Amino acid sequence: MSLLNRRTGYFAIFLACAGMMAFALFLQHYRYLNPCPLCIFQRVCVITVGGVALLAALHNPKSTLGIRVYGALSTLAALAGLAIAARHAYIQTLPPSEVPTCGPGLNFMLDSMPFTQVLQKVLFGSGECALVDWSLLGISLPAWVAIACAGLALACYWLGFKAKR
């Protein structure tokens, strides 16, 4: 794969992430589906993948080290998004008696707790994370995000480690 194609691949990943965020913002502002804490963390991961991909496309590194650094950073961010989205989708499948109780809002937690404690509470999930507000083909939004993040991780890994110069 030539550098031009690697650049195009990273730009395509950026566009995919931008599209995902545009859809999330559409659901939030026009369908009034406010994001739960797990949704917000998924958004952070998608934005990170898109940002790294855009930097990789603009920088277009020529060294193997540069190519691999962008590949590793974008792949790790996509895998983090996959893990968070999979956890969210799992919480949505729990019976009502096993769903964690609702906790304080994310802004309150960030203001009053250390970040590690916030991260632990968010990843545990809460009652609001168990609601399925939107689905397509019977698949919830977090499950779609997990599928998308899996695809992004594969694409980022391939561009960073498998694509030929």
For residue 112, tell me if it sits in a domain.
Answer: no
For residue 21, tell me if it sits in a domain.
Answer: yes
9, 25, 42, 50: which is closest to 145 by C-alpha?
Answer: 42
For residue 46, tell me if it sits in a domain.
Answer: yes
Domain count, the chain: 1
SS3 of the chain: CCHHHHHHHHHHHHHHHHHHHHHHHHHHHHCCCCCCHHHHHHHHHHHHHHHHHHHHHHHCCCCHHHHHHHHHHHHHHHHHHHHHHHHHHHHHHCCHHHCCCCCCCHHHHHHHCCHHHHHHHHHHCCHHHHCCCCEECCEEHHHHHHHHHHHHHHHHHHHHHHCCC
Is residue 62 classed exposed, middle or buried when 0-12, 13-18 and 19+ CB atoms within 10 A define those classes?
A: exposed
For residue 7, tell me if it sits in a domain.
Answer: yes
Threshold 0.75, pTM exceeds: yes
Q: What is the CATH number of the domain that holds 72?
A: 1.20.1550.10
Tokens of 110: 């960030």
User: What is the predicted pLDDT for the residue at 103?
Assistant: 60
For residue 139, tell me if it sits in a domain.
Answer: yes
For residue 42, tell me if it sits in a domain.
Answer: yes
Structural domain including 136 reads 3-97+130-162
For residue 25, tell me if it sits in a domain.
Answer: yes
For residue 72, tell me if it sits in a domain.
Answer: yes
User: What is the predicted pLDDT for the residue at 16?
Assistant: 97
Distance from the first to the final alpha carbon of the chain: 5
Over its length of 165 residues, how does the chain's per-residue pLDDT go in tens digits? 444 588 999 999 999 999 999 999 998 899 888 888 888 889 999 999 999 999 999 998 988 899 999 999 999 999 999 999 998 888 888 787 776 665 666 667 777 778 777 767 666 655 566 667 776 788 888 999 999 999 999 999 999 988 765
CB under 8 Å, gap of 24 or more: what pairs does 106-109 form? 106/37, 106/40, 109/37
User: What is the predicted pLDDT for the residue at 39?
Assistant: 86
User: What is the predicted pLDDT for the residue at 116?
Assistant: 79
